[in-house]
Chains A and B, each alone.
Chain A
C-alpha cells in the first residue's frame, strides 16, 4: 500500500462498516423502543419522569455521581419455587404425587407431611430448584386436577444483596437522557435505591454527611447542597435532625437547599418494581423490612 488514495478509501470503507455496526444498527434496533403494558402493575412501563425528578437527575449528573455508582443490576440465572395453589377434586391422588415429587427432588416426604402441605395453601412444595426439576414436578400434577405453579427467582450477588428484584434491561433506561448507567462501583448500585431506602430524612442526612448514617462510608459529603444558618427564633421545619457529632454547632441549623430535595426525589424515584418480558420474576409487593442492605443501615 504505497498510494495515499488507497489508504484513504480503505480507511473510509472500514469507518463505514464500524459506523453501520455500532451506530446505525443499534439506533434502528433500540432507538425506537416504546413503553410497554405490564399486566402485573396494570400500566405502561416505564413512566415518564416528572419535572422535579428531572431536576434531581440534573443534580446527580452535575455532581458526577455516575463516577462511583452504577444503575445496573446483574443476574447470573434463575431458580424456581414450585407452589401448590389448589388441590382440586382428587386429593388422594395429589397426596401421592406430592410424595413422588419430593422423591424427584431428592427429598423424603411422609403421607402426613403431604396432608399438612395440602391443608395450608398456597404451599411451597420445592424451593430454589432448577428449571428441569420444576417442569418435571409440574408435569406430575398435570392430570390430577391440582393447580401448581413455578415462581421465578432471579439469582446473582446483586439480587442477593437486595439491589433489585431482577436484572436491569434496556427498557428500564427508556427515559434516561443522558444515560447514567455507570461503570464503577465505588459505591453501591442505585438502580433500585428508591425501593430499598424509603426514608427521605435518611437520604438527606446521608447527602449532608454520609458518616452520620453509615459508619465508615467513603462517600464524600455534599454539604454544598445544604445551607448552614443561624436559628432565627423557631428552628426551620425543614432542618435536619443531626446527632451532636455531626451538628452544625450551637444555635445553627442545617437546611436542605432545593437541589438537595430534588436529588432525593430523583434517588427515591429509582425503582425496579415490576417484571418485564426479558426479565421475569415472581411479582410481590415490596416489603422494606426484607431489604438486605446491612452496610446501609443507620450507625449505632
Chain B
C-alpha cells in the first residue's frame, strides 16, 4: 500500500521518524496520563453506582460529576491526543514527508493540556455545563480551538507537502476528521455557550449533533483510518478495494453527523425519523467496510504480528456491532425500550473504548518503538499482550453487561406494573459486574502509562547522553 512498496532509502525514513519523535512522545505520554485519569474517575463512578455511601461527602466527586469528568478526560485527553499522534504518523508515513512545524505542535499540545486541566477542574469544581461531550465550562473551548489550530494546522500543512500525491483511503478519513472537529466545536460551543445561546429544545438537537459527530465522524474516522492502515500492514496484503472504502467514506460522512438522535417525544418528530434513517445508512457503510477488510484478510495467514492483528480485528468487530446496535436502537420500537437505560453507555463503551480506544493503543504499541528507535521492555505483567488482554476483556465485559443490563432495565421500565425499585434492582447486578470491567480497564491504563513513561524516560536519557557525547567530542 504505502511505504512498504517505496524505494525510499532507510535514512530518509529515519529523518521522517525523527522529525516526529518528541511531539509524538509527549502527545502519547499526555494521552495515556489522561486515559489513566479517565479510567480512575470511571471506576470511582462505577463503585458509587452500587455503593452510594462511597465518597458521598464531597461535591467534587459526586457520581454526576465523575461521569462527565471521565468522559471528557477520555475524549479530549486520551482519544483526541492519541488520535493526533496516530494521524500525524499516518500523514507522514503515507505521504513520505517530514513533519512540518513540530514546535507549533508542541505549543499547541501544551495549550491543549492546560485547557483540559482547567476544564476538568472547572467541571469538578462546579462548572459542569450540562451538555454531553461539552461538559466542561464554556471558557475552555476557545482555548481548545486555538490549540487545535496549531496541531491540526501543522498536520494539514504536512499533508499538502506530501511527496506521494496519491491518496490512500486512510488519508480521506484522517482529513475528514481533521476538518470536522474544529468546525463542529466552533459551531456547537458558540450555539450553546455564547451570550445569546440556543433556546429551549433546540439545545438538545445541537448537543446531539455534536455527540453524534464526535462519535461517528471525528473519533470514528480516526478508528477507521487506523483499521484500514493496520490490516494491510499487519497482514501483508493490500486493501481489497479502495472503491468500497470510497463509497463507505462518503456514506458515513453524509449520514454520520445525523445519527444517534434517539426517539424523544419532546423533540420534533423529524429528528427521530432522520436519526433512524441515517443510523441505518451508517450501519450499511460499516458492513461495506467490514466486507472490504474481510476480503483483504482472506488467505493472509497469521501476519507479521498475530496478536496486534487479532486486536485490530476485534476492534473492527466492536465498531461494526456498535454501528448495527445503534441502527437497531434508533428504530422507534427499540428506542422506546432502550431509551434512558444503560444501553446507551454500553454503546458508548463499545464504540469509543472498544473500537477507537483499542486501535489507538495498538497504534501506540506499533509506532512508538519505530519513532524512538527504542524497543518496548518486554516480559512479565507489563507485556503488551497482558496489557491489551486486560484492556479489551475489561471493555468487552462492561459493554456486554451494559447492553444486556440496559435491555433488561428498559424492559422493566416499560412495564408499569413494576415499581421503580424493581427497575433499579433489574440493573443492579449488571452494574456490580461492570465494576470488575472498570477495574480491569484501569489496571490496563496504569500499565500503559508505566510503559509509555518508561519509554519517555529512556528517550530523554538517550537524548541527554547523545548531547553529552557530542559536547565531549566537540571539546576534544
Contacts and interface: CB of A to CB of B under 8 A. Distances in A.
Nearest to B131: A178
A82 B340 CA distance: 34
Given A7-B175, A17-B254, A67-B64, A30 B268 contact: yes
B266 A31 contact: no
Contacts, number: 219
Interface string B158-195: 01100001110000100110011001000110011000
B264 interface: yes
Nearest to A228: B57
A4 B209 CA distance: 26
B56 A218 contact: no
B179 A27 contact: no
Interface in B266-320: 266-268, 271, 274
A10 interface: yes
Nearest to A162: B416
Nearest to B179: A11
Interface residues of B, number: 84
Contacts of A185: 340-341, 409, 413, 423
Majority secondary structure, B binding face: helix
B470 interface: no
Interface stretch (B199-207, B368-376, B450-458): B199-207
A184 B264 CA distance: 13
A7 B469 CA distance: 47
Given A64-B64, A174-B200, A7 B183 contact: no
Nearest to A6: B167
B398 interface: no
B268 A63 contact: no
B473 interface: no
A29 B206 CA distance: 13
Given A31-B199, A61-B128, A184-B344, A224 B57 contact: yes
Nearest to A161: B416
A72 interface: yes
Interface residues of A, number: 75
Contacts of A8: 175, 179
B266 A72 contact: yes
Nearest to B267: A170
A177 B193 CA distance: 10
Contact of A66 (B59, B64, B205): B64
Contacts of B165: 2-3
Looking at B50, B68, B167, the one whose CB has the most chain A CB atoms below 10 A away is B167
Interface in A171-206: 171-186, 188
B132 interface: yes
Contacts of B203: 176-179
A167 B267 CA distance: 11
B65 A63 contact: yes
A1 B167 contact: yes
Listed from nearest, the 6 A-B pairs whose CB atoms lie closest are A64-B64, A160-B416, A18-B257, A67-B64, A157-B416, A170-B201
14 contacts: A7-B172, A7-B175, A27-B198, A27-B206, A61-B128, A62-B127, A64-B65, A64-B67, A65-B64, A177-B203, A185-B423, A218-B428, A224-B58, A295-B420
Given A15-B257, A218-B52, 18 more contacts: A2-B166, A11-B175, A15-B183, A17-B254, A22-B257, A26-B271, A27-B191, A30-B201, A62-B128, A67-B64, A72-B265, A161-B416, A178-B192, A183-B339, A184-B342, A217-B52, A224-B57, A296-B420
